[in-house]
């Protein structure tokens, strides 16, 4: 047996927790072979997150130019406009895919030729810290893996989960209203009922088959070889299934994530695992594990709907109360703070934080603003709202509202995500203040397309050149906020933080650097009127606002205009 490291015992233990003794020995040898293989190919240098880390979330074909690979176009656009403020890039699934804007992966180890090749990915990784998606809960029905399964290839037997439709699956938690089982016909005409958590085109993988784990680990190592320093585990809460359970957040799921981390760290120490689990907040943060063995970053799913709720109601009480409850299991983990994403604004995370009436208000307002709502079957079998499908700027204000109001509300929401404890993630559309893309929904029939519009780069460049336009104001103002944030050690994602309840219209917090020497008091006015508050006595004066020329030398009273922000140092 090849010696791999002192953590070999931990890897062995986790494997034996998941598999029978006989199978576990095979898995151990597979894992050791993979580690040895990639140690010869990867020279990984550990990197620790700091205040300088800001992650742009973008499709590989978000910006396009005629006769040019879209990944190359994205790289050029970022070099010309964003390289000074953005140091990390999450490229949404750029693999060949059959649906769901990349999340029905056909081939884990290829790049969609319409976007470019691995060369474009490599060139991007030279300039930016790269996050890639591990879409490992499911794979496309058109993948070679599933085709081989239907073709009777013995290697792929039990790669997927076949269930007799008469089996009682009523306990399974459903994230969608689509059928849990989908019918497929094999090459001999036999019908197979296969587990499909999200859609018929997203066939769940069966991790009880050790070959699935081996092939998935191979793919994740390959991404690291190609430049990834962050691996986003998509929909990972549903990855392990046990009949008779809810099939979400199972102990085996956490064990599997911990195993993946241990194995990847053998080759790439401190490569960051980030879990995407759009579930109630308390369940979501369970993926931090002990703070030293599972995800290093967790999506802060409660933040996007809470910000919308707070701005629409000009009341931060729910946001502040929730923020005051935030805790982390160690100083080695942090939140991934975002507002918009390629998906909608998830509502499950605020279950128990907002009342049913407050959530219904979000639903009705979204619809009034031209947005859509997606539903799921809840634990009682009733249909309930799952996510708001709306561009973030249109969720915050009606498309017919004055441009000045739309701009202020949107910038306020983004500034709040920038200062929250953790690392900010910025969806490309938020950066330029994109509104609802109704044509996308009409063309695809997919509610989420409303916030997935792609741009010809010439059109975007023209929009960014129009003085006074919402697009240019948003882009320039956002970049300025980022440039200030990345210059302040107090915004280190692992630094201390505390939140104050100063006024129902005000969001107030203090951030400090790792040594507790530098502090910034954040005051954000969430109301459409002037507010005056008193700086807490424990905060020393004088203070100077990083966003304006304002200074606080003697008096503790501060007045903020409607939607004004202050970062007082």
* Catalytic sites, residue numbers: 234
Positive or negative: CA dihedral 206, 207, 212, 217: positive
Please report where in the chains the tokens 């023209």 appear, as a residue: 462
Token pair belonging to 2: 């090849």
What is the C-alpha separation between 102 and 302, in angstroms, rounded? 25
- 153, two tokens: 């290839």
- Candidates 353, 477, 480, 493; CA nearest to 420 is 493
Burial environment of residue 98 by CB neighbours within 10 A (0 to 12, 13 to 18, 19 or more): middle
**CA-to-CA distance for 161 and 318, rounded, in angstroms?**
41
Cβ neighbors of 380 (< 8 A, separation 6 or more) are none
545 DSSP 8-state letter: B
Sign, CA torsion 35/37/42/43: positive
Best CA proximity match to 299, nearest among 317, 319, 320, 278: 278
Q: Which residues pair with 89 in a beta bridge?
A: 56, 130
Q: How far apart are CA 549 and CA 558, in angstroms?
A: 13
Rounded (10°) angle between helices 457-465 and 70-81: 20
DSSP code, position 162: B
Cα gap 348→299, rounded to integer Å: 13
75 and 58 in contact (C-beta within 8 Å)?
no
């Amino acid at each position: 047996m090849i010696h791999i490291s002192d953590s070999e015992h931990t890897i062995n233990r986790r494997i034996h927790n998941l598999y029978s003794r006989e199978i576990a020995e095979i898995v151990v040898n597979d894992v050791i072979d993979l580690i040895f293989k990639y140690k010869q190919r990867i020279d990984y240098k550990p990197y620790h997150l700091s205040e300088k880390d800001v992650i742009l979330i973008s499709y590989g074909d978000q910006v396009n130019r005629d006769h040019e690979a879209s990944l190359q176009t994205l790289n050029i656009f970022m070099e010309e406009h964003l390289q000074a403020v953005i140091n990390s890039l999450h490229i949404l699934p750029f693999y060949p895919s059959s649906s769901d804007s990349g999340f029905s992966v056909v081939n884990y180890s290829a790049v969609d030729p319409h976007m470019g090749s691995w060369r474009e990915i490599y060139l991007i990784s030279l300039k930016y810290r790269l996050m890639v998606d591990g879409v490992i809960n499911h794979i496309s029905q058109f993948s070679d893996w599933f085709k081989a399964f239907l073709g009777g290839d013995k290697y792929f037997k039990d790669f997927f989960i076949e269930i007799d439709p008469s089996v009682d699956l009523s306990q399974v938690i459903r994230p969608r209203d689509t059928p849990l089982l989908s019918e497929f016909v094999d090459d001999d005409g036999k019908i197979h009922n296969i587990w499909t958590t999200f859609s018929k085109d997203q066939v769940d993988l069966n991790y009880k088959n050790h070959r699935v784990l081996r092939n998935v680990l191979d793919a994740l190592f390959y991404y690291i070889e190609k430049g990834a320093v962050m691996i986003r585990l998509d929909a990972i809460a549903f990855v392990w299934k046990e009949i008779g359970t809810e099939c979400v957040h199972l102990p085996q799921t956490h064990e599997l994530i911990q195993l993946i981390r241990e194995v990847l760290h053998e080759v790439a120490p401190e490569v960051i695992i980030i879990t995407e689990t759009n579930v109630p907040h308390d369940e979501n943060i369970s993926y931090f594990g002990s703070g030293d063995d599972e995800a290093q970053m967790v999506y802060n799913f409660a933040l996007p709907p809470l910000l919308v709720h707070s701005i629409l109601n000009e009341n931060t009480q729910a946001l502040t109360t929730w923020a005051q409850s935030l805790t982390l299991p160690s100083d080695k983990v942090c939140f991934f703070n975002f507002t918009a994403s390629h998906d909608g604004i998830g509502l499950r995370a605020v279950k128990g934080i907002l009342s049913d009436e407050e959530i219904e208000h979000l639903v009705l307002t979204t619809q009034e603003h031209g947005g859509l709502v997606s539903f799921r079957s809840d634990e009682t079998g009733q249909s309930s709202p799952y996510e708001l499908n709306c561009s973030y700027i249109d969720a915050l204000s009606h498309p017919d509202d004055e441009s000045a109001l739309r701009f202020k509300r949107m910038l306020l929401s983004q500034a709040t995500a920038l200062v929250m404890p953790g690392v900010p993630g910025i969806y490309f559309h938020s950066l330029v203040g994109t509104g609802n893309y109704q044509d996308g929904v009409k063309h695809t029939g997919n509610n989420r397309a409303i916030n997935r519009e792609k741009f010809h780069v010439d059109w975007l460049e023209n929009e960014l050149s129009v003085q006074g336009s919402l697009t240019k104001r948003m882009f320039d103002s956002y970049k300025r906020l980022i440039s200030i944030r990345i210059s302040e050690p107090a915004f280190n994602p692992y630094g201390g933080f505390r939140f104050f309840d100063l006024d129902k219209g005000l969001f107030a917090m203090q951030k400090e650097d790792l040594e507790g020497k530098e502090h910034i008091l954040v005051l954000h006015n969430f109301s459409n009127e002037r507010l005056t508050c008193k700086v807490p006595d424990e905060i020393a004066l004088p203070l100077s606002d990083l966003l304006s020329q304002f200074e606080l030398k003697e008096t503790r009273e501060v007045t903020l205009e409607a939607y004004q922000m202050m970062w007082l140092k």
